[in-house]
Amino acid sequence: MKKPISLDLRERIVAAYQDREGTREEVAKRFKVSVGMVKKLLAQKSRTGDLRPRYRFCGRKARLEPEHGKSMRQLVEQQPDVTLEEIKQRLGLDCTIGAIHWVLTRMGLTYKKRRSMRPSKTGPTSRRSGVGGSVPQDRSTRPGLSSSTSRRPRRT
């Protein structure tokens, strides 16, 4: 993110325009800022009377508020196997499933379902060979043919 321009420069830009030292375009060129920046400063000055950077008002507004986080925590504590879709429906949230997942992760709540019992002691279902990987079979392809997936043209 770029560094905001100084308060002194902001004040000089607005003063130059208000003293009719040029049009917005000329003031922007003189102070080496964009015309949009000049417009933004003039609007901010007339709307709020202040020219300081407004960090807290920038960016996208959150759809999930801290109160929603508290409700989600209570719901997950009451019913640990609740799905994200169920959380969205029960709390009447207007956001994406990903946003709910992100909030739960930020709160330190893991959502991975765990088995409630020990894993079974059943052995592996396929035979393991002593050598890593598969053992090549003799005559896996007919002599004179490649193991390519493309077929050889037919002879007519």
Residue 39 lies in a domain: yes
- The C-alpha angle 34, 38, 40, rounded to 5 degrees, equals 110
48/83 same-domain check: no
Q: Output 147 or 12, whichever has higher pLDDT.
A: 12
Residue-averaged pLDDT of the chain: 79
Q: Give yes or no for a contact between 30 and 16, defined as CB atoms under 8 angstroms apart.
A: yes
The pTM (predicted TM-score) of the whole model is 0.40
The structure tokens listed for 46 are: 């007339």
77/101 same-domain check: yes
Domain that includes residue 70, residue range: 66-106
75 Cβ contact list (under 8 Å, min separation 6)? 82, 87, 90, 91
Which tens digits make up the pLDDT trace of 89-105? 998 888 888 888 888 88
Mean pLDDT of 143-147: 58
13/44 same-domain check: yes
Q: Output 131 or 104, whichever has higher pLDDT.
A: 104
